[in-house]
Amino acid sequence: MSKKLIYLISFVLLLGPVSNAAEIFWSDGAADHNHLWTDPDNWLGGRVPRAGDEVQILSPEADAGHGPIIQDGMDITLLGLKNELEGRPGKPELTMTGGNLELTDYVWWGDYDNIEAFWYHSGGNVTVAAEFELGWGPDTGGAGTLDMTGGTISAGRLRIPTPAGAYGNFYLRGGTFNVGNGGLDMNANGLIDVGGGTLVLEGDQTAIINDFIAAGQIIFYAGGGLFSLDYDVRNPGKTTLTARWTGRAYNPSPADGALHEDTWVNIGWSPADAAVSHDVYFGENFDDVDNSVEGAFYGNQTSTFFVAGFPGFAYPDGLVPGTTYYWRVNEIEADGTILKGDIWSFTVPPKTAYFPDPADGAEFIDPNAGLSWTAGFGAKLHTVYFGDNFDDVNNAAGGLPQGTATYTPGPLKLAKTYYWRVDEFDAIATYKGEVWSFTTQGAVNSPGPSNGAVDVKQIQVLSWSPGEAASSHQVYFGTDKEGVRNANTGSPEYKGTRNLGSESYDPGKLLWDATYYWRIDEVNNVNPDSPWTGPVWSFTTADFLVVDDFESYNDLNPEEPGSNRIFYAWLDGLDDPANGSVVGYDNPPFTEYTIVHSGSQSMPLYYDNSVGYSEATLTLTYPRDWTENGVSTLTIWFRGSVDNAAEPMYVALNGSALVSGDNPDAAQRETWTEWTVVLQAFADQGVNLANVNTITLGFGDKNNPQAGGSGTMYFDDIRLYRPPQEPAP
């Protein structure tokens, strides 16, 4: 069911039936393949959409080169425009070069699971009465991309994507996008890249825009630009955002993070206005390129391209499949000024198959699902091995090759783990693939820590969600992956049985910087398919102590099992009139999901020093021994705002030993900043570092409270580190 169905029903009840309105589907059926919106042959049923219609632009009919074109002379009015239909994954497109498009309600672009929709807008005018949405989906989410180089779009609200969207991208390289009173909202997977275009929002939205900029969700010229943001200056009563180039190189080609399917490359970039030449660094090692190591420097040049992987150039023997290459361009100005550039990268795909679908370790897979993958570099034929036993699949040989990168294993069993492997043949050699796995619906799922998690606390209780048919769980745990994979109830990795309703296991204190593997087998003695062998999950512990990473807090009601609201852990000044702090937001989510240093959450803390000082205190359970493994330094990541009052920040242990920061304007720092405190500073005040009970974060002068200002801060990743190791001689 569509997420907006209730709204649409209400709309119809209010307005009454709309005569001759319908849901119209793009077909691209014109014999001359003109792709024009106004050609009836391009629509199922042979009718061009009109006022009151809802229009579906879907795959495969609207895939690359086959989507509708709107151009000068076309005047179109619709109720809504969308890509929202279950079972129609793909990459539909729409191109608008001119004309007028009026939506009396909505645009829902990329609005169902596994749909990645693209809108290319170089001219013409679009008005949307309600929301212009890039990405939504009921499960894994859909994705929408708007690439705008000209024209005008006006919408009541802009969402990139909705909270349920996989991702949304808006490249504003030209033209103007106007946002009405509904405002702008993005989840953590939303991105706006402002180039030569203009974003105009109703009212004062500068705080919201600044937050998205600080979070890296609004960037400028792919990271190579500066921005201009104002309210009520360029457009009365409105917020206006534009960008200009900086002194850095920008617009890399291949794009940063791209897959480059060739063994040679001609990289290029757009130069800074003041640059007279360019220093080029290129290599396989990020640090070498970042640190300007001699072997990564390929000279100074005036041209804005660089060839590698070809005889007579860098890497004359060719680029290596399966390798990521890093590059950087420093801009040199006429007076010799050097402006260090960003580090960009691209990857030459491996010879082996990659990007499996379902993804490796995926859960809740439909038993009727098909398998697909991206073919290895140069692959001509593919051999698939499939089964429910890792060793059988890993050791299999002699399969029949096929030409397509898809495979249908047939109806699968519920609540089961399956393994599969794809070997690639490029007409010269065969490249054995890695073994991937997935579990079907009804299987054990949702491991905690999540599969592949890193920097996990050394005190960690494992948890999982039970399979549908389970009556008990067999737990396997250890540091040897194959040992855990092949373990049975007679193996040392077997840690016992847990009854249904007890989906947790405490392995005790874990080693630092160690990878652990675990498996949960589901058991039901009255079911002939029992036991169901679970997948092997893994996590890696941190090489430091985690005081608080803010990832464990949730919004559950206090009476619900597992409730862990942040303001019940970090005690603020809500009940203390002498303490002006408030931890968390008034309504869920209580933690911050967008402005984070790492992970998915951070702690918002509001301070109001009109009462003298503001602080919040966490009572520790672990770690309390702040001498463990020789830790000597406390680090705290924080972020503020220029709108905050400048107040001194402090950290205290055990309620008394206090260390103040040396930056009086720390609360006004708009980027994530690491504060490092040597633990000896607390020991010198009498704290027994082997028995630390509480940690307090605060603002003001607690020992001599003075009335001050207010603001909102964000904290993340409070850690304890050992001294850095001396380099080997």
Pick the last residue of a domain from 440, 475, 507: 440
One domain for residues 564 and 463: no
Q: What are phi and psi of 675, to 5 degrees?
A: -105, 125
Phi-psi region of 266 (alpha: psi -120 to 50; beta: other; left: phi over 0): beta
> How far from the centroid of its chain's Cα atoms is residue 353's Cα?
24
Does residue 432 contact residue 396 with C-beta atoms inside 8 Å?
no
| Count of structural domains, the chain | 5
Task: Report if residue 729 sits inside a domain.
Answer: no
One domain for residues 52 and 171: yes
Estimate the share of the chain in helix, then strand, then coil, as percent rounded to the nearest 5.
Answer: 10, 45, 50
Pick the last residue of a domain from 440, 464, 482: 440
Domain hosting 504: range is 445-543
Nearest residue to 182 (alpha-carbon basis) of 255, 247, 136, 133: 133
One domain for residues 166 and 205: yes
Task: Report if residue 573 sits inside a domain.
Answer: yes
Reading the block at residue 664, the tokens are 């009086």
Using a 10 angstrom Cβ sphere, with 0-12 exposed, 13-18 middle and 19 or more buried, the burial of residue 490 is: exposed
One domain for residues 259 and 239: no
Contacts (Cβ under 8 Å, ≥6 apart) of 288? 281, 295, 296
Using a 10 angstrom Cβ sphere, with 0-12 exposed, 13-18 middle and 19 or more buried, the burial of residue 686 is: exposed
Report how far residue 719's alpha carbon sits from residue 545's, in angstroms, rounded to the nearest whole number: 6
Task: Report if residue 238 sits inside a domain.
Answer: yes
Report how far residue 259's alpha carbon sits from residue 320's, in angstroms, rounded to the nearest whole number: 13
Confidence (pLDDT) at 18? 39
CA distances from 341 to 161, 213, 264 (A): 30, 19, 23
One domain for residues 106 and 208: yes
Beta strand segments in 294-411, E: 297-301, 305-308, 323-333, 338-339, 343-348, 354-357, 362-365, 371-374, 381-387, 401-402, 406-407
Within 13 Å and on the Cβ side, how many CA atoms surround 34?
13
CATH code assigned at 256: 2.60.40.10
Confidence (pLDDT) at 333? 93
Report how far residue 294's alpha carbon sits from residue 288's, in angstroms, rounded to the nearest whole number: 8
Confidence (pLDDT) at 93? 96
CATH code assigned at 629: 2.60.120.260
Reading the block at residue 704, the tokens are 């001599």
One domain for residues 362 and 332: no
Does residue 285 contact residue 274 with C-beta atoms inside 8 Å?
no
Confidence (pLDDT) at 669? 87
Report how far residue 278's alpha carbon sits from residue 52's, in angstroms, rounded to the nearest whole number: 56
One domain for residues 223 and 234: yes
Task: Report if residue 728 sits inside a domain.
Answer: no
Does residue 653 contact residue 678 with C-beta atoms inside 8 Å?
no
The dihedral formed by the CA atoms of 183, 188, 190 and 193, expressed in degrees to the nearest 10: 100
One domain for residues 275 and 340: yes
Give the amino acid at 519: R
CA distances from 591 to 412, 564, 582, 615 (A): 40, 11, 12, 17
What number of other Cβ atoms are within 10 A of residue 381's Cβ?
16
Reading the block at residue 440, the tokens are 């079907």
Confidence (pLDDT) at 559? 93
Helix (H, G, I), strand (E, B) or coil at 274: coil
Task: Report if residue 155 sits inside a domain.
Answer: yes
Task: Report if residue 631 sits inside a domain.
Answer: yes
Rg (CA), the chain: 29
Nearest residue to 658 (alpha-carbon basis) of 633, 639, 677: 677
Confidence (pLDDT) at 725? 66
Give the amino acid at 297: F
Please tell me whether the peptide bond between 589 and the residue prior to it is cis, using omega within 30 degrees of 0: yes
Angle at the Cα of 171 (from 168 to 176), degrees rounded to 5?
115
One domain for residues 274 and 396: no
Helix (H, G, I), strand (E, B) or coil at 477: strand
CA distances from 436 to 102, 122, 393, 421, 451 (A): 47, 42, 10, 6, 14
One domain for residues 600 and 696: yes
Within 13 Å and on the Cβ side, how many CA atoms surround 651?
19
pTM of the model: 0.63
Report how far residue 142's alpha carbon sits from residue 110's, in angstroms, rounded to the nearest whole number: 5
Give buried/exposed letters for 16-40 (b at 16+ CB in 10 A, else e).
eeeeebeebbbbbeeeeeebbbbbe
One domain for residues 560 and 667: yes
Does residue 644 contact residue 609 with C-beta atoms inside 8 Å?
no
Angle at the Cα of 271 (from 270 to 277), degrees rounded to 5?
140
What residues of the chain score a pLDDT lower than 70?
1-21, 725-729
Confidence (pLDDT) at 402? 97
pLDDT digits (tens, 9 = 90+) for 435-448: 999 999 999 999 99
> How far from the centroid of its chain's Cα atoms is residue 645's Cα?
32
Task: Report if residue 693 sits inside a domain.
Answer: yes
Q: Are strands 371-374 and 381-387 parallel, antiparallel or unpaired?
A: unpaired
Contacts (Cβ under 8 Å, ≥6 apart) of 71? 36, 96, 97, 98, 99, 124
One domain for residues 402 and 452: no
Task: Report if residue 726 sits inside a domain.
Answer: no
Q: Are strands 190-194 and 218-220 parallel, antiparallel or unpaired?
A: parallel
Helices (H), ranges, 204-335:
206-214, 286-290
Pick the last residue of a domain from 522, 543, 564: 543
In what helix (H) or strand (E) does residue 391 lie, and over which residues does it extend? helix 390-395
In what helix (H) or strand (E) does residue 484 lie, and over which residues does it extend? helix 481-486
